Amino acid sequence: MYIRQLFAQKPCVFSMEVFPPKQTVGYEKLQASLRQMAQLKPDFVSVTYGAGGSAGGVSTCELASFLKNELGVEPLAHLICMGNEQDTIRPVLDELFAAGVQNILTLRGDRSPLRPESKSFAHASDLAAFIRANYGSFGLSGACYPEGHVESATLAEDVANLRLKQEAGVSHLITQLFFDNLHYYRFLNVARRTGVDLPVSAGVMPIVKKQQVERTVSLSSASLPPKFTKMISRWQDDEASLFEAGIEYAVEQIRDLIEGGADGVHLYVMNNPTVAAKVYDGIRDLLPAEN
Ligand code: FAD
């Protein structure tokens, strides 16, 4: 099933993100977690791209294949430009195709001294155009940033570049995580006015542990509204209460997004089936009956 089709069929598409373990020892535990998550009937599950397979862990393709072929869950495999060239990306695409994976999230990847820049693909849109031209059967998704990407001077400039993704064949977008829905609504207004008419999955990460805050914020550059910082300050020394408060915050955020007409909700659940189930319980009455 192509992800684009899901948006034509459902008022709100429910999805999650998981990441492959760096070492194969964690794989059995992750498989058990994914079996639990599959019971929530997500419309698709995205699998992040990392060094996984080549570093002795589990590859994105292996995990995507497990979701598709063992669990019957539609996978969305992330694929990045950084560190890849046309000749190295072809075998990855061949492998994904052979595994029956139909959807790819095309990304540039974060800049890192550990990853060389790609000479073939400067931007996600270049990778999307390459896949469209050479592997036309894949459905393509792309990333977007409600607060603007850090490398763009303004939100308008970043959104103008999203048009390039759309023109390159991307047919669905997933947002970076955000904690204040106003950013999402503003972004959507700018995007629609700029001619970006793709369905957008709103990315929400439930923050249930103190350590997540610093790491998440530095990686995502998401701004923190006072309501969020108050929650963290209040419960930071009480693990159990912070867990509950973090779930409640995410549930409230998602309920507002669905009621506000979001095309889809994408949960960054950090491979945690308990978090996925708790959030799902809080929003299931707003999702289509079959979820
Ligand atoms: P691009 O679309 O290339 O955009 C990067 C910057 O360049 C933006 O400022 C954009 O406005 C600008 N730009 C775009 N096109 C052009 C152009 N033609 N000319 C000039 N400027 C341009 N990283 C990983 O390493 N692995 C993952 O699995 C992963 N998954 C992610 C999933 C989601 C949903 C999101 C939101 C991010 C993910 N990332 C992942 C992080 C992502 O790779 C980084 O945010 C990266 O910095 C940008 O990726 P992009 O695909 O948005 O890049």
Tens-digit pLDDT string for the chain (291 aa) = 999 999 999 999 999 999 998 888 889 999 999 999 999 999 999 999 975 455 568 999 999 999 999 999 999 999 999 999 999 999 999 999 999 999 999 999 988 888 889 999 999 999 999 999 999 999 999 999 999 999 999 999 999 999 999 999 999 999 999 999 999 999 999 999 999 999 999 999 999 999 998 888 778 889 999 999 999 999 999 999 999 999 999 999 999 999 999 999 999 999 999 999 999 999 999 998 877
The pLDDT score that the predictor gives to residue 143 is 98
In this structure, the chain runs to a length of 291
C-alpha 173 – ligand 1 centre gap (Å): 12
- Which helix (DSSP H) or strand (DSSP E) does residue 214 occupy? helix 210-220
Residues 14 and 42 sit within 8 Å (Cβ to Cβ) = yes
The Cα–Cα gap between 176 and 107 comes to 12
Single-letter amino acid code for the residue at 184: Y
User: How far apart, in Å, do the first and last CA atoms of the chain sit?
Assistant: 16
Ligand 1: centre distance to CA 275 (Å): 27
pLDDT given for residue 51 in this prediction:
54
The pLDDT value recorded for residue 214 is: 82
CA atoms of 44 and 52, how far apart (whole Å): 21
Q: Which residue bears the tokens 């998401």?
A: 222
Atom of ligand 1 nearest to the CA of 126: 18
Distance CA 45, CA 16 (A): 5
Q: Is 221 in the pocket of ligand 1 (CB under 6 A)?
A: no
CB 212 within 8 A of CB 236: no
147 is catalytic: no
Distance CA 136, CA 129 (A): 10
Structure tokens at 135: 């592997």
Q: Ligand 1 centre and the CA of 237: distance in Å?
A: 35
Q: What is the pTM of this model?
A: 0.97
Ligand 1 pocket, mutate which of 18, 108, 162, 269 (most atoms under 8 A from CB):
108
Ligand 1 atom showing the smallest separation from residue 122 Cα: 3
CA-proximal residue: ligand 1, atom 11 (nearest)? 158
**Nearest to 198, CA basis, from 223, 225, 175, 232:** 175
Q: How far is the CA of 128 from the centre of ligand 1 (A)?
A: 12
What span, in angstroms and rounded, lies between the C-alpha atoms of 251 and 206?
Answer: 8
C-alpha to C-alpha distance for 80 and 116, rounded to whole angstroms? 12
Pocket lining: 85 vs ligand 1, CB cutoff 6 Å: no
Longest Cα–Cα distance in the chain: 53
Contact 200, 263 (CB under 8 A): yes
Give pLDDT tens digits for 116-148. 899 999 999 999 999 999 999 999 999 999 999
Strands 44-47 and 103-107: unpaired
Neighbours of 278 (CB within 10 A): 20
